[in-house]
């Protein structure tokens, strides 16, 4: 009787064990990148950064190519007016065909003009009671670089210059300009200081505004109260492909120039931005303009289009019962590139009622591209043999 019971138990175990093994929950497939999550575009930049002061070069929408190492805040002169114009247009947005609201010059505006003219600062002539449109005031600010117009715009926008300066500093923080402090709206104060990298950050944002772009690309303008045009201090505008942006020059700041030029890269029209600060040649502003021109021209040689072809395997699904199932890009990735550009890749997995989807978040500098991924083969169901024997180590010899 005892032997029969043992036999029955053995039979039950023989029958039940495979069933139990088969019914075990299946392990979930895992997925991981098969390419590095971080890399840089190969090659070396050899841009002619000036030895004096600070300088840098950037590609709009991509980021900074190169800039002076270990930058510290230095005076920037009238380059500060880029932030002034940017904030005015934030408060009073314009379309390219608009002149904007009309402002009537006050006795205070007139007194500021008289004062700046008397001490030798840059200025535009104003008369109390004179009517100026917003666009004309911006032209007076950015072309002849009127210090008194910076004051007028600041008071018009925020009620006082100090309130406007406070907003300038708040905006600088928001834009990540960690080496920038504004002490006035015009840049006359040597305490208004920044760095080349910070000015490139601001230039990228400011040049997104079509009205700002159109004004800094003007060689001259006719302002109220005069039939004689005023000329852009940036006399490179219209030459060498230069389309702006702003000059600055004081004894403390030296010669400064934040510049811009377009380049055709493949089918893309690319905006290159330069910042050259603290130039001490003779004359200082000429040195800044010349060095900036050389920097932009050389940078054009290093910007290109790079691509990742459609069908590139970038990840694998590790299926325990099948092995690795590659994931490939469902379309090509095209991006602006230059040597040293940082590339990051992140695999994104999303689950829904219809199944699991995979995509690649691809970042090249400030460029963000998301590409769906597709499997190169189907995931099969596990075999009966695999489900029963998985995890079982069979002897090599019986």
Over the stretch 250-297, which tens digit does the pLDDT of each residue have? 999 999 999 999 999 988 899 999 999 999 988 999 999 999 999 999
Q: Is residue 24's pLDDT more than 80?
A: no
Q: According to the model, what pLDDT value does residue 398 have? A: 43
Give tens-digit pLDDT for 44-101. 998 999 999 999 999 999 999 999 999 999 999 999 999 999 999 999 999 999 999 9
Model pLDDT, residue 396 = 53
**Cβ atoms 231, 144 nearer than 8 A:** yes
Q: What is the DSSP string of 359-387?
A: EEEEEETTEEEEEEEEESSPPPPPPHHHH
The annotated binding site is made up of: 246
Q: For 348-363, what is the mean pLDDT?
A: 92
Does 160 qualify as catalytic in the annotation? no
Cis previous bond, 267, omega within 30: no
State yes or no: pLDDT of 197 exceeds 80.
yes
pLDDT in tens, 330-342: 999 999 999 999 9
Active-site option among 66, 78, 290, 292: 78
Is 145 a residue of the active site? yes
Binding region for substrate? 246
pLDDT for res 388? 66
Torsion angles phi and psi, residue 234, rounded to 5: -75, 85
> What tokens were used for 142?
């950015």
Residue 81 bears catalytic tag = yes
- In this prediction, residue 291 carries a pLDDT of 96
Q: Is the pLDDT of residue 199 over 50?
A: yes
Which of the following is catalytic: 55, 66, 122, 145?
A: 145
* pLDDT higher than 50, residue 13: no
Q: What is the pLDDT of residues 104-117, one digit of tens each?
A: 999 999 999 999 99
Interval 126-175: pLDDT, tens: 999 999 999 999 999 999 999 999 999 999 999 999 999 999 999 999 99
Closest listed residue to residue 321, CA positions, set 389, 393, 377: 389
The SS3 call for residue 231 is: strand
Are 241 and 258 spatial neighbours (Cβ–Cβ below 8 Å)? no
Q: What percentage of the chain has pLDDT greater than the value 70?
A: 91
Give the chain's mean pLDDT.
92
User: How buried is residue 396: exposed, middle or buried, by Cβ count under 10 Å (0-12/13-18/19+)?
Assistant: exposed
Nearest to 79 by CA among 277, 282, 215, 308: 277
Strand partners, 305: 336
Q: Which of 55, 81, 189, 195 is catalytic?
A: 81
Q: What pLDDT does 224 receive?
A: 97
- The reported pTM is 0.89
* Residue 139, C-beta contacts closer than 8 angstroms, at least 6 positions apart: 215, 218, 221, 223, 230
- Taking 70 as the threshold, does the pLDDT of residue 19 lie above it? no
Kindly list the domain boundaries of the chain, sorted by start residue: 29-45+304-381, 54-301
**Multiple choice CATH, 54-301, 2.40.160.40, 1.10.3720.10, 3.65.10.10, 3.40.710.10:** 3.40.710.10
């Amino acid at each position: 009787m005892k032997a029969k019971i043992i036999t029955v138990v053995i039979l039950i175990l023989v029958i039940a064990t495979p069933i139990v093994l088969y019914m075990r929950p299946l392990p979930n497939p895992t997925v991981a990148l098969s390419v590095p999550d971080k890399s840089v575009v190969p090659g070396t930049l050899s841009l002619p950064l000036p030895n004096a002061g600070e300088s840098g070069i950037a590609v709009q929408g991509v980021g900074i190519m190169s800039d002076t190492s270990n930058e510290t805040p230095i005076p920037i002169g009238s380059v500060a007016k880029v932030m002034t114009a940017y904030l005015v247009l934030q408060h009073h947005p314009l379309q390219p065909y608009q002149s904007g609201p009309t402002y009537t010059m006050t006795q205070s505006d007139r007194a500021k003009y008289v004062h700046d003219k008397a001490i030798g600062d840059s200025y535009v002539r104003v008369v109390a009671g004179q009517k100026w449109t917003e666009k004309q005031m911006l032209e007076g600010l950015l072309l002849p670089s009127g210090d008194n117009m910076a004051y007028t715009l600041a008071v018009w926008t925020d009620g006082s210059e100090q309130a406007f300066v406070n907003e300038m500093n708040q905006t600088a923080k928001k834009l990540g300009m960690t080496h920038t402090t504004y002490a006035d709206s015009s840049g006359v104060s040597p305490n208004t200081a920044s760095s080349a990298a910070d000015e490139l950050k601001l230039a990228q944002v400011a040049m997104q505004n079509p009205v700002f772009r159109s004004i800094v690309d003007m060689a001259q303008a006719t302002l109220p109260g005069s039939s004689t045009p005023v000329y852009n201090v940036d006399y490179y505008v219209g030459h060498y492909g230069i389309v702006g942006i702003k000059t600055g020059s004081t004894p403390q700041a030296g010669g400064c120039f934040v510049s811009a030029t377009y380049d055709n890269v493949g089918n893309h029209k690319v905006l290159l931005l330069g910042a050259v600060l603290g130039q001490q040649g003779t004359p200082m502003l000429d040195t800044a303009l010349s060095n900036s021109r050389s920097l932009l021209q050389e940078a054009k040689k290093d910007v290109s289009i790079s691509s990742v072809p459609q069908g590139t395997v970038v990840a694998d699904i590790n299926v325990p019962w099948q092995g690795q199932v590659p994931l490939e890009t469902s379309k090509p990735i095209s991006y602006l590139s230059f040597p040293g550009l940082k590339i990051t890749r992140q695999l994104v997995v999303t689950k829904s009622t219809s199944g699991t989807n995979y995509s690649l978040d691809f970042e090249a500098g400030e460029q963000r591209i998301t590409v769906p991924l597709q499997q190169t083969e189907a995931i099969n169901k596990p075999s009966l043999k695999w489900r029963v024997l998985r995890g079982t180590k069979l002897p090599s010899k019986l």
